[in-house]
Every structure is written in structure tokens, then in C-alpha cells.
Amino acid sequence: MTVAAALPSPLLLVDAGTSAGAAWAEALEAAGYAVQRAATVSDAIQRTMDTTFCAAVVELALPGESGLSVVTHFASDERGAPVLVLADERVVELLDAGAGDVVARATPLPELVARVRRCVQAAERLQRLALERDQLKALSTTDGLTQLANHRAFQERLREEFRRAQRYDDPMALILMDVDHFKAINDTHGHLAGDEVLQRVAQALRSAVRETDFVARYGGEEFGVLLPKTHLAGALTVAERMSQALKAARAGADGAIRVTASFGVSGFPGRGVTTAEQLLKTADEALYRSKREGRNKISLFQSSLFVAQSG
């Protein structure tokens, strides 16, 4: 089976349509670049709306306008394609505007191609580094077993959402959930079965929340769910939905393992909840009340009073 090589991204050449522009295009095509030519700033910018370019080569002096607008457009584009400008003046201004390189219009064609290649390679290295950074960040904030956010990511998001709720005077709620009798599951069915239970729990929780909610494995068999712009009544509804989703989940051989959980719910604004840490503490207290009172329950923390409900 033959696998076709991926075609390289095209290169945008913005020039005044002179014989020099034709020579630049021919040299760049001979070097392996698929060149698209534009004669005006508006045409160049329009082409970027539909096409991702590996780089742009821009002649500064265009008929009746300046290629500087193309430079600033590319500099503001998050895709980060480099721009090489053909100009005999305003070098510092062009570099400050975001040009990757500035060369004289009379630069020999082999040098021009080499400079374009260098700009493209530098941009590709930066893109690879950015991708590796994002992958490392994802690994550092994701729980490997459940693929949910981990404890570190939960703490960061909790502080972020709490600051947002305070700033805009929005409600928010927090649900902490602990799988009932998880140690007995491990002891009876083995740790592999225990891991499967946690994976089924993660799937059930994801299915019971909105896209704007944030689900994390808080630690061990404990999970946390952040509910932005949600009052306690809404959080209780979500907790009940989560409880039912867990009861429908099955794990182990022939689905022999059934799962229940204990829940603690707290919200902001509320008496005694003026910080993210207090929101977490009150939800934790509500969770432990559910566990003390027999598990498989949902407990709300309201104004220092608990309201327990059977799960």
C-alpha cells in the first residue's frame, strides 16, 4: 500500500505584478513551494481567510498601497506564518511590525529562497515546540486512568471559576463525590476491577453534566464537579442525575459490580463561603455527612445547615 506524502502548505507572494515578481515566483516554485500570487493587500488578506500558508513574501511597494498591512495581518494571525518583506527602506519599522526578515528587492534569487526556507523552518520549530508544550501540559493536568482532569487541574479551575463568580456576581456550585465501599470492591474483585469501576464512574459523570461543567478525579475514588452559574437547586438536580447514571453503570465480569456514591454539595454565594477554599471545605463536610449517615446519599451544605437526601 502506497501512502501519499502530505502536500506542503502553499506560500503567498504579494507583489506588484512586475517581471521581478515573476522571477521571484519562478525561483520559489523551483525550490518546491506552491506559490499563490496576490497583487493587492485586500486580495492577499482575503486569501488568508481560505488558505493556510507556510509563509508570505511581500513586496513593500505595491501600486498605490503598502505591503505593511499584510505584515501586520500575518503578525496578528495565531497560526504564526512568517513574513519576509522585499524592501529597500523602513527596515526597522517592518521588523517592529512583525516581519520575520527584510531583504532588498535586488537580493539574488538563491539568497531569497534560502532566507524564505530559514523563516519557514524557524516557524515550524516554534510550532513543534508549542505542540510539545501543549501535550506536556495536558499530561500534567490529566488523570491517566480516567482521562478526567486531575487534582492539580481541579484546584486551578476551582480558583479560576470562583474569581469569575465573585467578579460578575454569579452563582456557582461544587459537588464532591466518593464511590461507596471502594476498598471492598478492590479487596473482593481485584485492583483491575477497581480501575474499571473508576473508568465507568468517569464516563457516567461526563454523561450527566453540561459542556460548561468541569469534572475531575479529585483523588483516589473521589471526584469533583464544578458547576459555573449554577444555584444549589440546580446542583442538586445534577447530583441526582449523576447518582442515577452511576447506578446504571456496570463493571466487572458480566457486569457484576454495581456502583453507588455519596455526594456533598455546596455553593456560592452562601453563608460561610467567601473563598474557593471555603467552598471546597463545605462541600467536603457535606460529603462526609452523607458517608456518616449510611452512604448513597446527597447532602447539601446550606447556611451552616445540612439537608440530607437519599441517593
Catalytic choice (59, 161, 196, 221): 221
Question: Given a cut of 90, is residue 198 above it in pLDDT?
Answer: yes
Rounded average pLDDT over 14-21: 91
Q: Are 265 and 175 in contact (CB under 8 A)?
A: yes
Active site residue 29: no
Q: Which three cell numbers stand for residue 54?
A: 507556510
How many C-beta neighbours within 10 Å does residue 108 have? Answer: 11
Q: What is the pLDDT of residue 7?
A: 44
Residue predicted with more confidence, 293 or 140? 293
Question: 135-183: per-residue pLDDT in tens?
Answer: 777 777 899 899 999 999 999 999 999 999 999 999 999 999 999 999 9
Q: Which three cell numbers stand for residue 137?
A: 501540559
Q: What is the pLDDT of residue 94?
A: 92
Angle between helices 191-207 and 182-189 (to 10 degrees): 140
Average pLDDT value over all residues in the chain? 88
Phi, psi of 223 (to 5 degrees): -130, 150
Q: What is the pLDDT of residue 127?
A: 80
Give the C-alpha distances (Å, rounded to integers) separating 235 from 176, 263, 283. 11, 11, 12
Phi, psi of 139 (to 5 degrees): -65, -35
Question: Given a cut of 70, is residue 302 above it in pLDDT?
Answer: no
Q: Are 239 and 184 in contact (CB under 8 A)?
A: no
Q: What is the pLDDT of residue 266?
A: 95
Separation between Cα atoms, residue 17 and residue 84, nearest integer Å: 17
Question: Given a cut of 50, is residue 304 above it in pLDDT?
Answer: no
Rounded average pLDDT over 216-222: 94
| Residue 113, SS3 per DSSP | helix
Question: Given a cut of 50, is residue 35 above it in pLDDT?
Answer: yes
Q: Domains of the chain, with CATH numbers?
A: 11-139 (3.40.50.2300), 151-310 (3.30.70.270)
Rg (CA), the chain: 29
Question: 91-143: per-residue pLDDT in tens?
Answer: 999 999 888 899 999 999 999 999 999 988 888 888 888 788 877 777 778 99
Q: Are 195 and 131 in contact (CB under 8 A)?
A: no
